[in-house]
């Protein structure tokens, strides 16, 4: 396990959870947070419209294109990416504050963002959640029913591309069982020993 060191002060781990849309990243992360409420899940900013049941400020911070551009230009994003026609990004300040307070941080983001975090925070641990098979990934994406046909086709194409990024990650967890995957993720989130 890598060590997070800033000056003489140890800062808490930063865990990046990535992988294709539909692989179950959110479910795995939600289960990991239930099992260890001490972890903090970063709230991303997005230009995507809220889905039914999503809460502004909790699921995402939903912003306009202009607001998003302003955050990028003023250097407030740790990373950001364009994904299926919308933009998504991680505000840096809360991530830094949480880590400095000793609270491990989880980012649940797509692959381009994970690459940027690797550049910005080389001590981050990058975890790829993989599907048991490509056929299963397609079935999960279709079964979710949250997108219309055009959006679904775009997400399927991106998901297939994202699978090829797997070797860039520090760890790959195959999500065949949510609780087992969440438990394996928690093992990667524990603070390194003194």
Kindly list the residues in this chain that would bind ligand 5GP in the complex (CB under 6 A).
21, 25, 44, 48, 79-81, 83, 88-90, 108-110, 112-113
CB of 194 to ligand 5GP, least distance (A): 32
Percent helix, percent strand, percent coil in the chain, to nearest 5: 40, 25, 35
Q: Which residues contact 105 (CB under 8 A, 6 or more apart)?
A: 12, 13, 14, 15, 39, 40, 41, 42, 95, 98, 99
Distances (CA, A) of 169 to 15, 35, 126, 163, 172: 11, 24, 5, 11, 7
> Which residue, 25 or 31, is less far from ligand 5GP as judged by CB?
25
> Which residue, 26 or 36, is less far from ligand 5GP as judged by CB?
26
CB of 42 to ligand 5GP, least distance (A): 7
CB of 89 to ligand 5GP, least distance (A): 5
> Which residue, 28 or 189, is less far from ligand 5GP as judged by CB?
28
CB of 90 to ligand 5GP, least distance (A): 4
Alpha-carbon span 112 to 104, nearest angstrom: 22
Alpha-carbon span 53 to 55, nearest angstrom: 6
**Tokens read off for 137:** 């990934």
> Which residue, 75 or 193, is less far from ligand 5GP as judged by CB?
75
CB of 111 to ligand 5GP, least distance (A): 8
Please name which of 101, 108, 122 lies closest in space to residue 170, comparing C-alpha atoms: 122
> Which residue, 15 or 110, is less far from ligand 5GP as judged by CB?
110
Which residue's CB comes closest to ligand 5GP? 113
Distances (CA, A) of 17 to 25, 124, 129, 135, 185: 7, 10, 7, 22, 9
> Which residue, 81 or 126, is less far from ligand 5GP as judged by CB?
81
CB of 79 to ligand 5GP, least distance (A): 6
């Amino acid at each position: 396990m890598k060590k997070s060191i800033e000056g003489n002060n140890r800062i808490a781990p930063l865990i990046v959870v990535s992988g294709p849309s539909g692989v179950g990243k959110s479910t795995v992360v939600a289960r990991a947070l239930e099992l260890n409420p001490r972890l903090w899940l970063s709230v991303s900013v997005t230009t995507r419209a809220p889905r039914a049941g999503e809460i502004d400020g909790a699921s995402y911070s939903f912003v306009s294109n202009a607001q998003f551009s302003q955050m990028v230009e003023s250097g407030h994003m740790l990373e950001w990416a364009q994904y299926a026609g919308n933009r998504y990004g991680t505000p840096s300040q809360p991530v830094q504050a949480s880590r400095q307070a000793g609270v491990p941080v989880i980012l649940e983001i797509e692959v381009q963002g994970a690459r940027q975090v690797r550049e910005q925070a080389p001590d981050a641990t990058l975890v790829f959640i993989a599907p048991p098979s490509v056929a299963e990934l397609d079935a999960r994406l279709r079964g979710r029913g949250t997108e219309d046909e055009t959006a679904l086709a775009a997400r399927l194409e991106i998901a297939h591309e994202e699978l090829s990024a797997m070797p860039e990650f520090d760890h790959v967890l195959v999500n065949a069982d949510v609780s087992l995957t969440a438990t394996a993720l928690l093992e990667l989130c524990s603070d390194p020993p003194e």
